[in-house]
Structure 1
Amino acid sequence: MEKLAVIFDMDGVLIDSYHAHFESWRIIAAEEGLQITEEQFAKTFGRTSREIIAALWGQHTPNDAKILELDERKEAAFRELIRENFPIMPGAPELLESLHQAGFALAIGSSGPPENVELTVRKLGPAAHFGAIVTGKDVTRGKPDPQVFLLAAERLGVDPRYCAVVEDAPPGIEAAHRAGMKAVGLASTGRTKEMLAAADLVVSSLKELSPAVFRRLILGEE
């Protein structure tokens, strides 16, 4: 029997990080005399920080060194905001544990930096049964490119056809489909179900998911 896998995006899926990310962007923008609106942020959520900086402030970031500096400062500000009051998504530890007990391979496929992912894994504690972790440092192309999910599947040793992805943003859902995987849309961090309608399944909470749900989704079982 083929091994099945579930790949989790991190921001907006394992942690409710939307507001902390927006605030950290505002902090860095203010320090640089720049601006970012919530509308701009919402459109870029899920992409790598490097891509966001280049898209929003390209005319103010003349070289890669400046982009890298802003990227590192922004992510440090984000970690400082969430370190003491870590916003783990309701139901995340329980879902990860149940999937592990049911024999699923688990991975994180995130556009975030490794330091952010490491912090999340530590906070998840014993439930963090991840056989592969892919971060923004491991890829050269952000979502909707499927690179992050294909690399996670490769590291798990699972055929993409037997993988499902849990995402909260349209670019991530597109990336999952381009990787040949099933996509679950999580509409709980400012995303409506209508925005995630391209997913194979849309839920409002991780508590709606289970090993049986993923098995039906991936294998088409009733």
Structure 2
Amino acid sequence: MTENEDAATLGQGRAKLIARKEEWAREGRLLTGATPGSNADPDRPRLPPGQTLVRDWPVLDLGVQPDVPPAKFRLDVDGLVEAPLSLDWEGYMALPQVESVSDIHCVTQWSRYDNHWQGVAARELLSRVRPKPDARFVVFHSHDGYTTNVPLEDFDQPDAMLAHAWEGRPLTRQHGGPLRGLIPRLYLWKSAKWLRRIELVTFDRPGFWELRGYHDHGDPWREERYG
């Protein structure tokens, strides 16, 4: 098979995956109708409605896994901030590092408990760029062209971070390495892989899946799978 044929096959697979997930959104696939509370509810169950607990970490993407070696790594944090940042890998790793443990919940119905992460806390990053008063939302941009949006208040949480390691090892390419966002309180599609840019904006700007029928917010305990 030629390189062009490989690309065509990959493109067809990507289109089919997108079409299938758009159909899930239209049908409301996996929705149980249970609404036990939001991620801010201290009495919420640990496993959100409709989820199944797994021990592995399933790999889900659009058929493209960008290769971003440290020498080519760049992370820009800009938009409505007082002090924009542009970091190479050494600059990112020089920031204060933290460790955390959190559960993750994928909109495709699986959840995994007690994931150990290492990285830079979102609040550390925000303290350095200093969001302007009119900053209300965060848009994540990935190396594969993927985008997703979250309210600034969901990124400005103690468990949100930019993760480079999982279970004591560097984050693999298939799971978004070298750097991915992590917002455990929301479905995992909001934790963008292969991060390239973090943009702060005033108005909400729906991302890749949000424009294709997925919920704009994505709270697992409210079952915000689709819009």
Fold conserved between structures, TM > 0.5: no
TM-score by length of structure 2 reads 0.28
Higher helix fraction (1 or 2): 1
TM-score by length of 1: 0.28
